Amino acid sequence: MHKLDAVDDLILDEALTVDPAESGDASEEDAFGSGEDTDEAGSGEDLADAPVLVLEAPAVAAELAGQGRTVLHRSDQLEDEADVPAELLESWDDPRLAEVRLVLLRLPANLNALDELAELVATHCHPEVRLVAGARVKHMTRGMNDVLAAHFGEVRASLGVRKCRVLHAAGALPDARGTQPTWPREAALEEFGLTVLSHGATFAGNKLDLGTRLLLGQVADLRPAPGADRAVDLGSGSGILATVLARNGWQVTGVDSSRAAVAATAATAAANRATVEVLRTDALTDWSAADLDLVVCNPPFHVGSAKDSSPAFRMIASAAHALRPGGELWCVYNAHLPYLPALRRDVGPSEVVARDRSYIVTRSTRES
Ligand SMILES: C[S@@+](CC[C@H](N)C(=O)[O-])C[C@H]1O[C@@H](n2cnc3c(N)ncnc32)[C@H](O)[C@@H]1O
């Protein structure tokens, strides 16, 4: 279940303030520096009956839905969309967005992710939409104000409360409406003859991550054998690995838990005329057959801003179950991370096949 924390509480309290100009310290100058920290957030009038859009804040969506509000919610990560007793916003083309005058957001650390969300809100919601976006002060940067100011005429910060703040944005800039979306964004990866597309929250954007580069150097020449051509790019991000494998004749599925990743994987494959199936799932935990010949993976070692290897261990264990006996898992990761014992235990014989100053690439063969 999703539990409210101090950021969620402040977002909810500030959202109840009808006029953000009355909410206290409104000066942009003081957005993150000298603002006084108080114990209490202001409260105010009720939210209107119009639908509220809640982004990246599942506990806030659950809380408002529990109060009987009409709530649409959406998050990048699958787990943030699970078990929320409110309606999921499946598409930014949903006509109900035109009625949305209040959007509540937990600020993503990634400014590109914030830029895409701000653009979508300014473009698709009611012209008088108000955005209330919060985070812990230690995770906020001045760049967040600048990103919001590119899409909204008014941007101001709240007082700090329990080491959290919100940014209020209003006055969606008319330029946003009727113009072409600026996401996904495209770049050429000339040395591999690829066009790469990324959404704001896609890992590494449309650039080639250094770990991925090392892995790509090892797998770009792998060719499928007759009857042994099923491959998965596990945690596919922008889909570079998936697209290269598909171009080499593999039947590829790109798997990722992030909306920004699966959309980018599909877009990158399409831009390169490659056929890649995409699935938004938690690792390969739902993969029913042990039928994969090849899995490639550059696993995450962060969850949000905290270092955490548990998703990587889950990916390794799930790949082990989805590989056929003799199938191979190729992984790249920071050389100091303790993944080799897990690869040997869960998958089978594993060796280091490449390394540079930061990363190692391992090949593990599934034991029967
Ligand atoms: C380090 S990035 C690698 C992305 C891409 N393969 C590349 O090399 O550029 C790790 C990817 O794993 C995804 N991911 C994290 N946890 C996951 C999970 N439990 N299931 C599936 N994908 C996950 C992230 O969304 C991210 O796209």
Q: Are strands 302-303 and 306-307 parallel, antiparallel or unpaired?
A: antiparallel
- Name which residue sits closest to atom 9 of ligand 1, judged by CA: 237
Domain boundary among 119, 150, 176: 176
Residues in the chain: 368
In 218-234, which positions are buried (b, 16+ CB within 10 angstroms) versus exposed (e)?
A: bbeebebeeeebbbbbb
Does the Cβ of 330 fall within 6 Å of ligand 1?
no
**Residues 301-305, mean pLDDT to the nearest whole number:** 69
Q: Are strands 37-38 and 160-161 parallel, antiparallel or unpaired?
A: parallel
- Residue 128 and residue 249 in one domain: no
What share of the chain in percent tops pLDDT 70?
89
pLDDT recorded at residue 308:
80
The answer to whether 152 and 171 are in contact (CB under 8 A) is yes
Please report whether residue 1 resides in a domain.
no
pLDDT recorded at residue 38:
45
- Tens digit of pLDDT for each residue in 92-137? 999 999 999 999 999 999 999 999 999 999 999 999 999 999 999 9
List the structure tokens of 346: 């869960």
- Among 256, 280, 333, 337, the mutation site with the greatest number of ligand 1 atoms within 8 A of its Cβ is 256
- What is the atom index within ligand 1 of the atom nearest the CA of 209? 9
Please report whether residue 352 resides in a domain.
yes
**What's the CA-to-centroid distance between 256 and ligand 1, angstroms?**
6
- Residue 106 and residue 191 in one domain: no
Does the Cβ of 328 fall within 6 Å of ligand 1?
no
- Name which residue sits closest to atom 19 of ligand 1, judged by CA: 282
User: Residue 198: pLDDT above 50?
Assistant: yes
- Name which residue sits closest to atom 12 of ligand 1, judged by CA: 235
Lowest mean pLDDT among 95-104, 142-151, 294-303, 340-349: 294-303
pLDDT recorded at residue 330:
98
List Cβ neighbours of 96 (8 Å cut-off, separation of 6 or more): 51, 72
Q: Shortest CA distance to 319 belongs to which of 344, 296, 351? A: 296
Segment holding 327, helix H or strand E: strand 323-334
Does the Cβ of 235 fall within 6 Å of ligand 1?
yes
- Say how far apart CA 191 and CA 172 lie, in whole Å: 40
- Residue 154 and residue 197 in one domain: no
- Residue 139 and residue 287 in one domain: no
pLDDT recorded at residue 273:
98
**What's the CA-to-centroid distance between 300 and ligand 1, angstroms?**
6
**Residues 150-158, mean pLDDT to the nearest whole number:** 95
pLDDT recorded at residue 174:
72
- Say how far apart CA 4 and CA 59 lie, in whole Å: 5
Domain boundary among 123, 156, 176: 176
Segment holding 340, helix H or strand E: helix 340-346
**What's the CA-to-centroid distance between 103 and ligand 1, angstroms?**
27
Position 28 confidence tier, pLDDT thresholds 50, 70, 90: very low
- Tens digit of pLDDT for each residue in 205-232? 999 999 999 999 999 999 999 999 999 9
Asked whether the bond before 58 is cis by omega within 30 degrees of 0, the reply is no
pLDDT recorded at residue 73:
98
Please report whether residue 95 resides in a domain.
yes
For 117, phi then psi, to 5°, come to -65, -45
Does the Cβ of 120 fall within 6 Å of ligand 1?
no
User: Residue 255: pLDDT above 60?
Assistant: yes
- Residue 198 and residue 168 in one domain: no
User: Residue 292: pLDDT above 80?
Assistant: yes
CATH number reported for the structural domain that contains residue 105 in this entry: 3.40.50.150
List the structure tokens of 243: 């697209």
Residue 340, class by beta-carbon neighbours within 10 Å (0-12 exposed, 13-18 middle, 19+ buried)? middle
- Residue 115 and residue 205 in one domain: no
Q: Shortest CA distance to 263 belongs to which of 116, 99, 110, 49? A: 116
pLDDT recorded at residue 301:
83
Please report whether residue 20 resides in a domain.
yes
**Residues 180-199, mean pLDDT to the nearest whole number:** 95
- Tens digit of pLDDT for each residue in 40-96? 433 344 445 789 999 999 999 999 999 999 999 999 999 999 999 999 999 999 999
pLDDT recorded at residue 178:
62
End-to-end CA distance of the chain: 38
User: Residue 25: pLDDT above 70?
Assistant: no
Instruction: State the average pLDDT for the chain.
Output: 91
Which of helix, strand or coil describes residue 105? strand
- Residue 172 and residue 247 in one domain: no
pLDDT recorded at residue 309:
86
- Say how far apart CA 247 and CA 274 lie, in whole Å: 6
pLDDT recorded at residue 66:
94
- Residue 164 and residue 244 in one domain: no
For 119, phi then psi, to 5°, come to -65, -45
The domain in which residue 293 lies consists of 185-365
**What's the CA-to-centroid distance between 361 and ligand 1, angstroms?**
16
**What are the residues facing 37 on neighbouring strands?**
160
- Residue 76 and residue 162 in one domain: yes
- Residue 120 and residue 196 in one domain: no
